[in-house]
Amino acid sequence: LTGSSSFVGIVLFAQLGPMLLFSIVGGMFADTFDRRRLLITISATQGLLALALASVVRADDPSKAWIVGIVFCMGVGQSVFGPTYSAVLPDLVGPGNLAGAISLNSAQMNGSRVIGPAIGGMLFAQYGAAWVFSLNAITYLFVIGALLSVRLPDVEASGADESRLHRLALGFRIARNRFPVGRCLVTMVVFSFLCLPFIGQMPVLADRNLDIAARSTAYGWLYACFGLGAMLGALSVGTVFAQTPKETLVRVGMISFG
């Protein structure tokens, strides 16, 4: 839309920054409010924001401020959706199937990174960004429909602010006192800090180093390859490498990514 790598970085920060700042608050919401209703509300809001973004980018000279603002709001929504969805998953499958469910969930998320960029790349090249964001808005209807079809146990009522703060403090104490938990959190922080900017800057890298324009179908397939590898890796964790120590898989994965 702008051809500016700096603006790509700003948009990436607007998307991911709220996840850093508000994910803890999102976890508190997941422990306080009806999770299914919360997920439905966020999904509907995200769909409306996608439509708003489609409207903005349809202009010949789209407003950068509006783009950043809408993406920031999407990031805030995702910072609540992510922890809430993670809290819902054990209720859907039970403890015995949790490991397989996590692997399958990761596979379907990364599978969307294969199908989405391939379709989005073709639509972007033929019709422009507005059509892509409009299609993205429609996909939230499927999420809402799926959420309406399931029933989840009620969250234990905890309306007092002191109780919410107590749970938040308890989470920090667990991370500090249990070494495996703290190590996982530090690992994710380092990985996200070093790797997520690379993903966000892929359009610039493809254009400058591979001579693949971000508006081309080829770029859609390039990004799809990234998702394909992640999907195959997620499926392998729950099948081929099910008996392999998870610590070994994490080390090999991070070294391979680097």
pLDDT tens, residue by residue, 141-173: 999 998 898 887 766 655 555 566 777 777 778
pLDDT digits (tens, 9 = 90+) for 51-106: 999 999 988 888 899 999 999 999 999 999 988 888 888 877 777 777 777 777 77
CA torsion sign for 224, 217, 200, 211 is positive
SS (H, E, C) 120-183: HHHHHHHHCHHHHHHHHHHHHHHHHHHHHCCCCCCCCCCCCHHHHHHHHHHHHHHHHHCHHHHH
Query: 125 pLDDT band (50/70/90 cuts)?
Result: confident
Q: What is the end-to-end Cα distance of the chain in Å, rounded?
A: 30
pLDDT of 46 strictly over 80: yes
| Domains of the chain, residue spans | 5-257
* Residue 192 or 77, more confident: 77
* Percent of the chain surpassing pLDDT 90: 17
Give the Cα-Cα-Cα angle 27, 32, 35 (nearest 5 degrees).
75
- In this structure, are residues 192 and 82 in contact, taking their beta carbons and an 8 Å threshold? no
Predicted local distance difference test score (pLDDT) of residue 55? 93
Per-residue tokens: 215 = 């508006």
